[in-house]
Amino acid sequence: MRAVQVRELLPNHAGTGLVDVPRPDPGPGEVRVRVRAAAINFPDLLMTGGGYQLKPDLPFVPGLEFAGEVDAVGTGVAGWRAGDAVVGGNRFGAMAEFCVVPAAALRAKPARLSWQEAAAYPVAYLTAYVALLRCARVEPGEWVLVHGAAGGVGLAAVDLAKAIGARVIAAASRAEKREAIARLYAPDAVIDGAPGFREAVRTLTGGAGADAIFDPVGGDVFDESTRCIAFGGRLLVVGFASGRIPEVSVNMPLIKGFSVVGVRAGEYGRRFPARGAENVAAIDALAADGKIRPHVHAAIDLADWREGFAMLERREVVGKVVLKP
C-alpha cells in the first residue's frame, strides 16, 4: 500500500517520503480501515522533524485523524464489520491507504458528512467543544472572540459558537481569510486580528468586552486580549501559534475578574472518561443534525502530501487540508 513514511527526523520533512509498504494486519482488539481521507494537522508537520512531544519509533506514518471504511477486524472485536463507514483518531498512522487502530478509537461516520469533511472535524471540533462548553461554559447570547479564526481549530470554534447561540467575533490576520470566514459562517463580526483589535471588540460589545476569548495564538494576541475581556470573562489558552508563550500579571485577572483557563481536549477526556465520551457524542450529534459544517480548504492526493504540508506552513489554509489515499 502507499503511505507517507517518516524514515529520519530531519528539517523540511527531508526524511519523509511516499513509499510502498506491506498492508498491516489487525491484531486482537484492532480494526484495519481503508482510509478515504486523512486530515493534516500541525503536529503531523512537527513530528517529521522530531519537534513534537510525541516521538514514535522510526519509521512511522504520520496522521492523527481519518475517515474510511472498515476493511478487517481482529479477534475480540465486536460492533464493527467490513464496510462500516467510520471516523477515527490515533496518534499517528492515518496518512496511508490502510491504517490499523484500536477498535475503541473508531466511531460511526455522520451520514451528512463527506469523507473529507468527516476526516476534518474530530480533533478541531472536540477542542472547540471542550473549550467553549466545558471550560468556558458559554451561554447563548454571550460574546465570544475567536482568534486565529481561519485555522482548523479556530474555524471550528466559530462554527460551534454560532451553533450554540453565542454572538461571535472572528479575528483573522489576512483580508482574504476574513472574507472566507464571513462567507462560510456569517459570524456577528469579522475583524483584523492585528494589534489594535481590542478597540474593535470594545465597540462591538458596547464597551463590556468579550465574555469568552478563544486563543490558539498566544504572544501579543494574548496580552491584548486581557484588555478587551469582560468582567467575569474566560480567556481560553488553546495554543501558542505565534511562538511566544505569554505571561500575565495576576493583578489583571484580579482587577478585571476574569479567568485564564488552559484547554487540552484529549487530556480532558483521559482525566474524565465519562465526560470525554459525552463530548465526542455531542459533536457527532451536532454533525449528524447538520448544526456544524466542517470546512475543507483542499482535498489532494496522498502523493501530493508535501504540497498539503506547505499549505499549512504558508498559513494560507481556511479550515482543513485533507489527503486522499
Is pLDDT of 91 > 90? no
Residue-level pLDDT at 241:
84
Q: Report residue 53's pLDDT band, with 50, 70 and 90 as the boundaries.
A: confident
First to last CA, the chain: 9
**What are the Cα distances from residue 259, in Å, to 60, 236, 279?**
40, 8, 22
Query: Which three cell numbers mark 175?
Result: 483580508
HEC states along the chain? CEEEEECCCCHHHCCEEEEECCCCCCCCCEEEEEEEEEECCHHHHHHHCCCCCCCCCCCECCCCEEEEEEEEECCCCCCCCCCCEEEEECCCCCCECEEEEEHHHEEECCCCCCHHHHHHCHHHHHHHHHHHHHHCCCCCCCEEEECCCCCHHHHHHHHHHHHCCCEEEEEECCHHHHHHHHHHHCCCEEEECCCCHHHHHHHHCCCCCEEEEEECCCHHHHHHHCCCEEEEEEEEECCCCCCCCCCCCCHHHHHHCCEEEECCHHHHHHHCHHHHHHHHHHHHHHHHCCCCCCCEEEEEEHHHHHHHHHHHHCCCCCCEEEEEC
Is pLDDT of 95 > 90? yes
Is pLDDT of 168 > 90? yes
Residue-level pLDDT at 266:
87
Report residue 324 CA to chain centroid gap.
18
Is pLDDT of 52 > 90? no
Is pLDDT of 306 > 90? yes
Q: Round the average pLDDT of the chain to a whole number and report it.
A: 95
Q: Report residue 54's pLDDT band, with 50, 70 and 90 as the boundaries.
A: confident
Give exposure, 27-43, as e/b (b: 16+ Cβ within 10 Å). eeebbbbbbbbbbbbbb
Report residue 65 CA to chain centroid gap.
10
For residue 161, the surrounding DSSP H or E stretch is helix 152-163
- Domains (range + CATH), the chain: 2-121+295-324 (3.90.180.10), 123-267 (3.40.50.720)
Which pLDDT tens digit goes with each residue over 185-205?
999 999 999 999 999 999 999
Report d(CA 134, CA 81) in Å as an integer: 34
Q: Report residue 81's pLDDT band, with 50, 70 and 90 as the boundaries.
A: very high
